[in-house]
Chains A and B, each alone.
Chain A
Amino acid sequence: MAVQRCRYRCPCAILPPEILRRIASRGNRAQREAALATLATDQTLRLARATHQLLDAGARKPSLTLPELAKQRTIYDAGHQETLPGRVVRAEGSPAGKDVEVNEAYDGLGATFDFFAAVYDRNSIDDEGMHLDASVHYGRRYDNAFWNGRQMVFGDGDGDLFNRFTISLDVIGHELTHGVTGDEAKLVYLGQAGALNESISDVFGSLVKQRAQKQTAAQADWLIGAGLFTSKVSGVALRSMKAPGTAFDDPVLGRDEQPATMAGYVNTTTDNGGVHTNSGIPNHAFYVAAMAFGGYAWEKAGRIWYETLRDRRLKQTSTFRQFAVLTAQNASQLFGAPGRKIVAAAWKEVGVDVGR
């Protein structure tokens, strides 16, 4: 019988109910009480599990014991090949080495895990303690980073336009948040739902950085990927949540085409329907809401967006408006009428009407 440690750090042995019932009827008084308490808890867990199963329609495996809240990071070196994951170069708890990308990936995964754990009580990507894996040195002069459904992948950059892709903590947070979205709302990566998927990664990627730097909404730069461009590029970052469409304007990369409002919504067949372009609209709504709430953005605006991401009413094919309506409802639940008013006003500023 496996003895697992639960997140409350007590050893939980899983005994079959028939053994517990035998103890409850035949054991001494202390044993009987303990067994009965376990059976009662077990019953509650079964009920909770059945309820979740109904809601999930079998989408997620329920776990009887909550896994321990602990980071399990593994960093791999892809050795400039495009095969994953590569060889292990740093495991959880081992000291920093000389490879900057390995260390940045390790620390970035740690900061992201800590953010979700401390702020939203989330145990890793799947809230069940999923191990965090990342491969660095992927490909030759590879200028991208992505989430493949199981792990993060970072290129070194081409050295001409892009530096190493581990350089920005918010990019690491962005990639891991794709994992969270894949576990919760499962927003399809297309059109408005895809742009929401992208925006949610920018929101929490930025919040990971803001929390690591102890910045209030007013102090934050609200940039995604600052430091990623080499000095040859005229631009500050990949995107700006504060001022979408202003992050870069460069002869080789082109101009940042992100709209800040629905009036500028881009209909396109490229990039899965412009998921990295139209994300500017929900990004800016979040920024406006966070500034209106004031203080640390992860506490109110971030909490509202996180609860909306986990809201079972949020559809995989949600539009901006459907998402916005849920943020307003969650704002009301969490922070009352004043919270709702702030969120509704933020969406209105970007041209999304959440109604009354």
Chain B
Amino acid sequence: MTTGSGGRTVPRERERPGLTPEESALVVRIGVFVKMRWLAIAGVLIASLIATQAFHIQFSLVPIYIICAVMTVYNFLFLYQARHLNVEASDSLPETLAVPLRHLLIIPRATSPLLARARATGNVHIIVDLAALTVLLHYTGGIENPFIFYFVFHVILAGILLHYRVAYLVATWAILTVLLLIGLEYYEVIPHVHLEGFAAAGLYQQGSYILSVLLALSTCLYASAYMVTSISGELRKRQREVVALQQKGLTEKTRELEEASEELTTLEEGRQHLLRFLAIASHDLKAPLSAVQSYIQLMLGGFSGELTDKQRQMLERSSIRITEQLELISDLLDISRIEGGQIVKEMEEMSLSQVVGDSVENVRAMATDKSIKLGTRMPASLPKLKASGVRLKQAITNLLVNAIKFTPENGEVLLRITEQSGDIYTEVLDTGVGIGAEDLPKIFDDFYRGSDREKAGSGLGLSIVKRVVEAHGGKIWAESPNPEDKKGRGSKFTFLLPKNLVIAGKKQGRKARLKSQET
């Protein structure tokens, strides 16, 4: 009666979110069984009609119609129940009934309420179907009817849906039911319906026939139970392994993510700690020197009475040493801040021409003191950048100070900005003493002061410039002698800021349009 090959996957309409593969497979299968029962009902009706009409086998169709009607009704109920499997909260009747069965067969508890409910539902399906098939058999010739072997489908169904012990129980139950039916008919406790024109009249009381059918049926049912349960057991095991693996993978990934985010937090905390520490260190290191320097300036300014030349000279030297020390502290703290990533926070829309102008102003007095010609050349319009204005000013100023420091009186220092295929090039050229070939590769190193140690300075100036440029994703290099100096003197420093810092579409400079027309 129930035809078919079991739990083939049907269209995925019945897959619900949030179900384990095992649960959803079971839900899908219960749906499949409901569909197959419709086919079975149709099959019974068609087979009966063919038997009576085409082969003129004589038997009453009325009981068959009644049984089909009953099956239709309970199949509708099953259909309804299959659609609401995971809706009900409380234990349904089939589940309550399934408990003693579970205890009897020592079946482990289902891993989820939905599984328990689906299995209990399966029990009910099988019991009702078994009963229906038995009654149907009774009205269609009993042992004369070869469809008696259709009990195998119940065993298959149980083997797929339920615990493997249930499959054997169903096989046993089917055999007992058949035995009871045949026995009652054999001893004529209940009337035998003879299929006239199909089987011999006394067949239902022929011992050898009955025994052979029973033997074939029993072996068939038990063998099916064995085959189906071993296959579906294996499948279920695999399914669980897959789920376990997935969950293991998921847990591991989650743990890795948690660890990574913890590390990030620790890093950020460390960074914040460093910056706080630097702010305090900066203040506490500079404050005493500032006070001393202020006193010295007060004395040098004549606010505490006249000074002798000797005193003045000594105070001036002290003042220079303190200034150097303050600069060294500033440089060290700047490096720590840049390394600590503060530069990223300082990046904002800024005007490069303003930075250039400020830097030149910073060193103008120094250049004038040495009668150095300080020139600036840059396009009338420069794009706006997303960069740290403070740090770029520091970088350009450092380069200019360096150039002025190493250029003799009456020399020239030129600051030139150009735009080449979007990148911004900043060049500082001088006509000074230049850099020895052995020094050139090391000038950007920390505390490197070249062979000419007479010049004041911490040796950190250029390494700060390099850090600033690189923090912006740029590059810096130096050439000596200055390739543009006709007498082969001096040096040339170039750094480029990549075009990705440029804020698109924002040009500045009042005469921009005018200039571009001229050129």
Do A and B interact? no
- B residues contacting A by CB (< 8 A) are none
- A residues contacting B by CB (< 8 A) are none
